[in-house]
Structure 1
Amino acid sequence: MANGNKVLVLGATGGIGGEVARQLRDRGWDVRAMRRSGPQATPAHPDGITWIRGDAMHRADVLAAARGCDVIVHAVNPPGYRRWSELVLPMVDNTIAAAQANGATVVLPSTVYNYGPDAFPLLHEDSPQHPHTRKGAVRVELERRLQQATVAHPLQGSCRVIIVRAGDFFGPTAGNSWFAQGLVKPGRPVAVVHTPGAPGAGHQWAYLPDVACTIAQLLERRSTLPAFASFHMAGHWDADGTEMASAIGRVVVHSGGAAPQVKAFPWWLVALASPVVATLRELREMRYLWQYPVRMPGHRLSALLGQEPHTPLDEAVQATLEGLGCVKKTGTDRLGAVLTDPNAPQSPGQLPA
């Protein structure tokens, strides 16, 4: 299979899909992106991306959009955790069919939902996957189908697969994330930071631009990888569940604001409203990921790349809060000197969900 540079991004209107599309474009890739609304096709779009109208649930749309592509980034998910059992597997089946038709590589930005407490606290690429939730079981089946698709079939052909598993996403465009929907309120000054984790439980975070850069670097090396390759990102490790809140506080203060209060996330309110609010009901199911320390060391990725892409935490939080409209935008050239406490322990790495 040739290492061509034509890619289709599914889910490009979302956080990780959009970031991957932009970074691949900037690295010289011919990027197509599919969305449900807008013109039928815009090959001369000013953002340098060819936008194609289509629905990831319609196989004909995906096959048409993927024609001639070398890579398909499968970054599409049901919104608000809803209807996973109905939508997730049909969408990945359509991606697999398109990848097999083109002999393409599928990239899946993945989560830790596949794992249950029996695999905690350290998750490696070969750790047992005994999911604790319905959504976790769906993710296990999704990855099983992807792995099966790498085996040549006389009628369907085969594809290659790269899975990049990371912690909870945060970043300037990560609106649908725990950071943006649980810790702070987008569009408002940060007066309170809510911490969802149990006291002392470590948690892993993944800065979206770092995840996208990792995916881009892996794609540049894809011809050297096994047909089915999975990697865990170290990202930003919050050892006791307080460092992310502390970083937010440092950024707010250095941006001219008052130090925000830190409060426990109101899980009681989620429990109270979950019987009538579907999104909160699905959110409550994932609470166990905040009750245990869950960490991915990322050794395999670092061994391959030499060094995992890693933005310093305060710089990443600054960009995130600016993107969410929580602090005023400033230049980034002084962030390392201004925001980073030289006496503070530095996080070694990064993780979604």
Structure 2
Amino acid sequence: MEYRSETPALQAGAGGGGRGLLQEMRRQLRVRHYSLRTEQAYLGWVRRFVVHHGRRHPRTMGAAEVQAFLTALAVEGRVAPSTQNQALSALLFLYREVLGMELAWMESVVRAKRQRKLPVVLSRAEVERLLAQLEGRPWLMASLLYGTGMRLLEMLRLRVKDLDFERGDITVRDGKGAKDRRTVLPRALVPALRLEVERARALHAQDVAAGYGAVWLPHALARKYPNAPREFGWQFVFPALHRSLDPRDDAERRHHVDDGMLARALKRAARGAGVDKPVSAHTLRHSFATHLLESGYDIRTIQELLGHKDVATTQIYTHVLNRGPNGVCSPLDRG
């Protein structure tokens, strides 16, 4: 939805005519291989920016309007610093990459200071109670997150070929920072994962018989390997129950399962398990890292498994350990 009737400034091209501003921004985002979620978020922020300033064209605005918009988000919208910074990134992309305006004021716009927060971590007993409340596909997905440390979207985007049952590892493709890495494949999940793969095989066979079966491939892989989209190895490990129209090109395909399904299941499971902490898919990733540290694994190994660029990011888990070389015993607990 382009809000064409509400925002005429967005209908004008990047240079004042021709291709619509949002259409051109979408094209530039896709040329640079931004994810679909980032694309949707950036376009949404540009819409809100234009509407906030009376539907003026971005070319007629500058640092004052950008700062005023960011201030309104913080003061009136009370958004988190990370949300405010995402809005700024979207506007900087608009001016630099779409409008081609490299202006001095861009460097002077102040980014919100990110808050340092300790991650929510479940105890081993809480993880056991949580998983005991789940069954079927939600149980497998939650167990895989806790057993591998993957991010939610990394797990959802797993292809059949990324599971190596013989070597006992999982290849995470195009993770955060556009990097590939390997993580452990829990032996306890092998039987359930094999069943899930066979389920995906049956759905793929149905799609092929119906004249479909071509899965979406990132970037130019579909052109480089024209037969790959229909090969079973490229299919998602966790396919959706129904085919849907791909927003990138309106082709009917079977995508991976929606992430909301697991979020709802985890919320119910936490309530049933008596876990009062906020539980999300990322909580299981945090618990994976913390429990490995508690077991004595070195932080560099955990950094590689998590796919952190900087070990400093991984070190935050040392602050939530219950015991260990950096642990402190309360004087009340000393004999």
The TM-score, its normalising length taken from structure 1, stands at 0.26
Q: From the two aligned structures, give the one with the greater helix fraction.
A: 2
Q: Which has the higher contact order (CA 8 A, sep 6+)?
A: 1
The TM-score, its normalising length taken from structure 2, stands at 0.27
